[in-house]
Structure 1
Amino acid sequence: MPVPTKPVRTDTTRPPAGGGIGRALLRRLPLVGTVLGLALAAWLVATNDLGAVAEAFGRIGLTGLAAVVLVRVLIVSLCGLAWARVLDGLTRAGVGAFVVLRFVREGINVLLPVASIGGDVLGGRLLTFWGVAGSLAAASILADMLIQVGTQALFALLGALLLMRIDGESAAQLSAWVLRVLAVAALVLAAFFAVQRLGAARYLEARIAALGRRFVREAEPRPVEGASVQDALDVVWDKPRRGRLAQSVLLHLLAWTLGSAEIAIVLACIGNAPVTLAEVLVIEALSQAIKSAAFPVPSGLGVQEGGFVVVCALFGIDAGTAIALSLAKRVPDVVLGLPALLVWQNLEARRGAVRAPSPS
């Protein structure tokens, strides 16, 4: 009887050392961001009055926190509807699938150390469970992310313009900083759009697939024969569909504006000095801009709290109240994020039961 032997690997090629180092750094980026964020959060706690933070947070009450959670449900649902508009008419997946998966994307991004993009990658993969081709799902994620970040930049621009009307050197410095960041962001967004429209997405397709395999071991579903992400992007951005894309932009803008309602609810419950609608918009827009600028830090740990302290100080809101405000905005992250993670795991477990609709 022949003795079984292990197969001999004939391919002795190895990736360049530099590439391996680069991949290792990318894998560790979320971990490094988490450590830095926790350190910043610990420093903020250590340098501020914990009693004042606890007292301010306690005044919000369960009713106030429940209202904040309900507002967040509406915000994420609007983002799900905006994502659905990107693929409207191109897939049979219902709007409900996009809304549910948008909650899953959000839950992964705010609760797991994935540098605020892992949820989007997995959201595109999960969309294939509804019979959407992998190339089209990836294209929808790229387009949705571009629209999402672009509308967030517009909202931050509104906040900076409103801030310029406030007297004071601190307000002027912060608004100038935001405008400089937005100028850089505009160039990056223009390049991202050009990549999608000029054919470079064919290279990105391989990179997205590799990134997706970091989170899921099994192979990606095969796209439709002959289809590519670039082909799908060309369909998504096709001129006759610009009306649907404009609707997606408006839905995202509405969602970011509604985030100001969370600020207003919390400050009203705490009983802080009255703030105007413009001030609430500035606090929400600029705190989100600061958090977005630190995207490698998962969920903006520490950065969000620091952003609120800086922006709220412009309107005479003390640090304790500002940190309590940030903590209140994190409550929906947990209340909605944990069930979203359970939905994700359930979808993975039931993957074999989900069948693509048969073509008619």
Structure 2
Amino acid sequence: MPVRDPAPTETAPGPTGLGRALLRRVPLVGTLLGLGLAVWLVTTNDLGAVAAAFGRIGLLGLAAVVLIRIVIILLCGLAWARLLAGIARAETGAFLILRFVREGINVLLPVASVGGDVVGGRLLTFWGVTGALAAASILADLLIQAGTQALFALLGAVLLTQMEGEAAAALSGWVLRALAVAGLALAAFFSLQRLGAIRMIERRLASVGRRFVREADPAGAGPLPPAASVQDALDAVWGRGRLGHVLQSTLLHLLAWMIGSLEIAIVLACIGVEGVTLAEVLVIEALAQAIKSAAFPIPSGLGVQEGGFVVVGALFGIDAGTAIALSLAKRVPDVVLGLPALLVWQNLEARRTAVAPPA
């Protein structure tokens, strides 16, 4: 059955023209700022040292980093699928494919770091998931993703407190204070989803959701009625008897972030950096990712990721040139995997009637 647009319904007034223009310019401004920071980092450091360190990684080292990134994205896709297991008819393969698409959009296009997630929710409806449930799954998945990244950053900060030096103590203190604020924000986000407060902004959410998500189950064949709201779908995702699925999703995300440390270990080994322990690798990955996540308005953390590696790497005697080369190596999978993901996205858009399940 082809995917059809839902019947026209009354919508809340959208943002003003000025507001829409400002929202569109945020990713562009973030991109320009990130590019400026990246250029500044490269030009103020020894470009030859950066090139030499990157060259020592070699094709095999970069291939290993790409393979690890594939594993990470697959784990995140499985985590997303577990949230909807039993309440959506989409197969696990759909979530795995769309998780690559989400990642590709977030790291390669000039959008804020949640732009790909919005598109991923829309594409999920092509597999018969209602628009409300697709949107709810994205909200829940983003909450768990942010929460587990905060836990991983907390692990890095705790490990950092065990290390000597004023710089380490200052950075760990800053991270712990930032995580306290992030914890309050995540708790508020969770409360909006669980306590029904989101119903107060339901009409606005529905108006925004209809711009990006098409209803793929107008006959109500899925677990939710066609008129179900996003809040109803969130209640289904977080509902009684779903704790096991939520825990599975949480553990899969945590495992993914931990595995990300292997990328750093491989790159440093290829470059020839010695004496960096497993705990130090975990600290570098956790804190660099936390810094990048804090700058989510900047697409792919451009420049911010590089700066994070320079700051954190300096604590362990890693020079700026090596730190920048490390960051560049971690961006190789963004391109190698992101470009095919964008092609898959365009193919899905062009063939949505073929992707949609039969009636």
Superposition TM-score, scaled by structure 1 size: 0.91
Deviates more, 1:346-355 or 1:37-46: 346-355
Between Structure 1 and Structure 2, whose CA radius of gyration is higher?
1
Query: 1-side partners of 2:200 and 2:352: how far apart?
Result: 28
Deviation string 1:188-222 (CA, Å, 9 cap, x unpaired) is 100000110122334555555555677x6xx7336
Q: Is the 8 A contact 2:130 2:226 kept in 1?
A: no
2:107 aligned to which of 107, 110, 116 = 110
Give the corresponding residue for 2:158. Answer: 161
Give the corresponding residue for 2:140. Answer: 143
Structure 1 residues 28 and 203 mapped into 2: Cα distance closer, same or farther (>3 Å)?
Answer: farther
Structure 1 residues 108 and 212 mapped into 2: Cα distance closer, same or farther (>3 Å)?
Answer: farther
Q: Is the 8 A contact 1:159 1:285 kept in 2?
A: yes
Give the corresponding residue for 1:192. Answer: 189
Query: 2-side partners of 1:210 and 1:63: how far apart?
Result: 48
2:257 maps to amino acid: W
Q: Does 1:101 align with 2:95?
A: no
Give the corresponding residue for 2:4. Answer: none
Deviation string 1:161-192 (CA, Å, 9 cap, x unpaired) is 00011111111111111111101100110000
RMSD value, Cα: 1.7
Give the corresponding residue for 1:125. Answer: 122
Q: Is the 8 A contact 2:125 2:214 kept in 1?
A: no
Give the corresponding residue for 2:169. Answer: 172
Aligned residues: 340
Deviation string 1:137-174 (CA, Å, 9 cap, x unpaired) is 11110100000000000000000000011111111111
Give the corresponding residue for 2:339. Answer: 338
Give the corresponding residue for 1:273. Answer: 274
Give the corresponding residue for 1:250. Answer: 251
Query: 1-side partners of 2:235 and 2:250: how far apart?
Result: 18
Q: Percent identity?
A: 76
Give the corresponding residue for 1:326. Answer: 327
Give the corresponding residue for 2:284. Answer: 283
Displacement of 1:355: 2.6
- Unaligned segments of structure 2, at least 5 residues: 1-12, 219-224
Q: Does 1:220 align with 2:214?
A: yes
2:82 aligned to which of 72, 82, 85 = 85
Give the corresponding residue for 1:12. Answer: none
Give the corresponding residue for 1:241. Answer: 242
Structure 1 residues 332 and 207 mapped into 2: Cα distance closer, same or farther (>3 Å)?
Answer: farther
1:93 maps to amino acid: A
Displacement of 1:99: 0.5
Q: Is the 8 A contact 1:122 1:212 kept in 2?
A: no
User: Superposition pairs for residues 25-40 of structure 1, below 5 Å?
Assistant: 25-40=22-37
Deviation string 1:110-150 (CA, Å, 9 cap, x unpaired) is 00111101100110110000001111111110100000000
2:160 maps to amino acid: L
Secondary structure, in 3 states, of the residue corresponding to 1:239? Answer: coil
Query: 1-side partners of 2:85 and 2:49: how far apart?
Result: 49
Query: 2-side partners of 1:67 and 1:151: how far apart?
Result: 24
2:186 maps to amino acid: L
Q: Does 1:299 align with 2:296?
A: no
Q: Is the 8 A contact 1:111 1:337 kept in 2?
A: yes
Query: 1-side partners of 2:61 and 2:206: how far apart?
Result: 42
Q: Is the 8 A contact 1:64 1:265 kept in 2?
A: yes
Q: Is the 8 A contact 1:82 1:252 kept in 2?
A: yes
Q: Is the 8 A contact 2:135 2:209 kept in 1?
A: no
Displacement of 1:20: 3.7
Displacement of 1:331: 0.2
Structure 1 residues 62 and 41 mapped into 2: Cα distance closer, same or farther (>3 Å)?
Answer: same
Displacement of 1:330: 0.1
Structure 1 residues 208 and 265 mapped into 2: Cα distance closer, same or farther (>3 Å)?
Answer: farther
1:343 maps to amino acid: V
Q: Does 1:66 align with 2:63?
A: yes
Deviation string 1:44-74 (CA, Å, 9 cap, x unpaired) is 0110000000000000000000000000000
Structure 1 residues 190 and 357 mapped into 2: Cα distance closer, same or farther (>3 Å)?
Answer: farther
Displacement of 1:82: 0.2
